[in-house]
């Protein structure tokens, strides 16, 4: 369902209302989170997951 939403939105996170570069998948929020070595979890729309390992 999320992947279909990405297709329809031109690659923008379907869970976000604003169509801005920061919301283009993989969104800026998740890129910042995965840069943190202590972060473990899903992106906002639960499409991607980052583990500590």
**DSSP H or E stretch at residue 41:** strand 41-42
Residue 5 in this model has a pLDDT that exceeds 90: no
pTM of the predicted protein model:
0.80
Tens-digit pLDDT profile for residues 12-29: 988 888 999 999 999 999
Of the candidates 39, 45, 42, the residue with the CA atom closest to the CA atom of residue 24 = 45
| Number of Cβ atoms within 10 Å of the Cβ of 21 | 9
Q: Report pLDDT for 18.
A: 93
Q: Report pLDDT for 25.
A: 94
Q: Over the chain, what is the mean pLDDT?
A: 92
Tens-digit pLDDT profile for residues 31-42: 999 999 999 999
């Amino acid at each position: 369902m999320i992947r279909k939403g990405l297709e329809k939105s031109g690659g923008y996170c379907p869970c976000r209302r604003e169509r801005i570069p920061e919301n283009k998948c993989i969104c800026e929020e998740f890129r910042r989170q995965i840069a943190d070595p202590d972060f473990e979890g899903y992106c906002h729309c639960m499409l991607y997951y980052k583990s500590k390992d």
